[in-house]
Amino acid sequence: MLKKNFRDVAEENVTVAGSTGATIRWLITEKDGALRYAMRRFEIKPGGHIGLHNHPEEHEIYVLAGNARIFNDGGEEFVAGPGDVLFVPPYEKHGYENLGGEVFTFLCVIPILEKK
């Protein structure tokens, strides 16, 4: 079993697709013994965003705080806030834009894919 506090995990800047004001903490990874899933914590400061991007992993997201516009390249968009749950399929282009005056914070679980 493992216990840690998110504050003890290194905070890294998100730089994908011109993102600004966004950070990630890799809370649970293969280094912790995880075999199938990784858990990450994202924070996007007011005025910040994570640009439109995609990747092979699906995303399972739980919003902790703040409000953000969630969008894809197909014209779909909506506002997500505390308690909302999101699913982003593999390879779907998606992005996030903080709409409010507080930090938009969410947990994101992804599968650990085999490295080729």
Instruction: Please list the pLDDT of the chain residue by residue as tens digits (116 residues).
Output: 999 999 999 999 999 999 999 999 999 999 999 999 999 999 999 999 999 999 999 999 999 999 999 999 999 999 999 999 999 999 999 999 999 999 999 999 999 998 76
DSSP string, 18-81: G-EEEEEEEEE-GGGT-SSEEEEEEEEEEEEEEEEE--SS-EEEEEEES-EEEEETTS-EEEE-
pLDDT for the residue 116: 62
Residue 108 · residue 60 · CB < 8 Å: yes
Residue count of the chain, please give it.
Answer: 116
pTM: 0.94
Output b/e per residue, 55-65; b: 16+ Cβ within 10 A: eebebbbebbe
Reported as a single tens digit per residue, the pLDDT across 7-34 is: 999 999 999 999 999 999 999 999 999 9
Task: Extract the tokens encoding 10.
Answer: 């290194």
